[in-house]
């Protein structure tokens, strides 16, 4: 046991290894328990035709993405050009989930506002934003109170869900989509899901 004095050093390196690995993890990216589970069903008013609703079964048979956005969300502005570009290249159909358009905006006090008034305001704001920045969505739906967001485990905007032909959530991207994440993660996953049948 001549090398006994090395034991604390080795323990130190072991600990340092764990800590170094910990530094590469992002504690803000909470893994979703919904991966590989059926996407929670919903029925929400469409932004383009608020008298009509949209539900998951309309996308059955397609690989598609659900992108959570809001006009007050600054990071959405960052990812938006990429979504517009994806739409031009027809990479994958993207449905927009407009999340708490009015009450999520810290600058507006939506408390006590009637639901109709809030909905009207949300439609107006969301449409204006899409006119200004481009509309990459097949369609958007209005999640006025954020309940559908809770069902999807949304805890920040933007978030993006990749959903397969059978309506299962296969991947969740937290935060703005970056060109790197699109090329190296999302597109390969989309292709894999399409091949899978």
* Strand order across the beta sheet in which 64-69 lies: 139-143, 94-99, 64-69, 159-163, 169-174
150 interacts with another protein by CB under 8 A: yes
Closer to another protein at the Cβ: 134 or 153? 153
| CA–CA gap between residue 143 and residue 141 (Å, rounded) | 7
Choosing from 21, 106, 195, 197, the residue that interacts with another protein (CB under 8 A) is 106
Decide if 157 contacts 75 (C-beta within 8 A).
yes
| CA–CA gap between residue 41 and residue 147 (Å, rounded) | 12
CB atoms within 10 A of CB 118: 19
Closer to another protein at the Cβ: 24 or 89? 24
Choosing from 46, 91, 105, 138, the residue that interacts with another protein (CB under 8 A) is 105
The string of DSSP codes covering 147-179 is: HHHHHTT--SS-EEEEE-TTSBEEEEEESSPPH
Region of 47-55, 61-69, 123-131, 142-150 interacting with another protein (CB under 8 A): 142-150
Choosing from 74, 89, 114, 115, the residue that interacts with another protein (CB under 8 A) is 74
195 interacts with another protein by CB under 8 A: no
State both tokens at 161. 């869900």
Residue that the structure tokens 């905007």 belong to: 157
115 interacts with another protein by CB under 8 A: no
Site string for another protein, 16-35 (x = CB under 8 A): -----------xx-xxxxx-
Q: How many residues bind another protein (CB under 8 A)?
A: 32
| CA–CA gap between residue 123 and residue 191 (Å, rounded) | 34
Closer to another protein at the Cβ: 48 or 151? 151
Choosing from 122, 158, 162, 167, the residue that interacts with another protein (CB under 8 A) is 158
Choosing from 11, 41, 117, 155, the residue that interacts with another protein (CB under 8 A) is 155
Region of 46-54, 143-151, 164-172, 178-186 interacting with another protein (CB under 8 A): 143-151
Binding site for another protein (CB under 8 A): 27-28, 30-34, 72-75, 100, 103-107, 109, 111-112, 145-146, 150-153, 155-158, 175-176
């Amino acid at each position: 046991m001549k090398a006994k004095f090395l034991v604390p050093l080795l323990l130190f390196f072991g600990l340092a290894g764990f800590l170094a690995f910990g530094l590469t993890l992002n504690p803000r990216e909470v893994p979703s328990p919904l991966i590989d589970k059926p996407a929670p069903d919903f029925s929400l008013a469409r932004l383009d035709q608020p008298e009509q609703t949209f539900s998951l079964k309309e996308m059955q048979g397609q690989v598609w993405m659900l992108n959570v956005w809001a006009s007050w969300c600054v990071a959405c502005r960052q990812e938006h050009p990429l979504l517009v570009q994806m739409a031009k290249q027809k990479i994958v159909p993207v449905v927009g989930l407009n999340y708490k358009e009015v009450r999520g905006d810290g600058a507006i006090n939506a408390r006590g506002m009637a639901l109709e008034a809030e909905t009207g305001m949300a439609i107006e704001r969301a449409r204006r934003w899409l006119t200004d920045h481009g509309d990459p969505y097949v369609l958007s739906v209005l999640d006025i109170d954020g309940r559908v967001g809770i069902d999807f485990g949304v805890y920040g905007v933007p978030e993006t869900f990749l959903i397969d032909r059978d309506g299962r959530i296969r991947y969740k991207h937290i935060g703005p989509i970056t060109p790197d994440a699109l090329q190296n993660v999302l597109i390969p996953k989309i292709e894999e899901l399409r091949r899978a049948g």
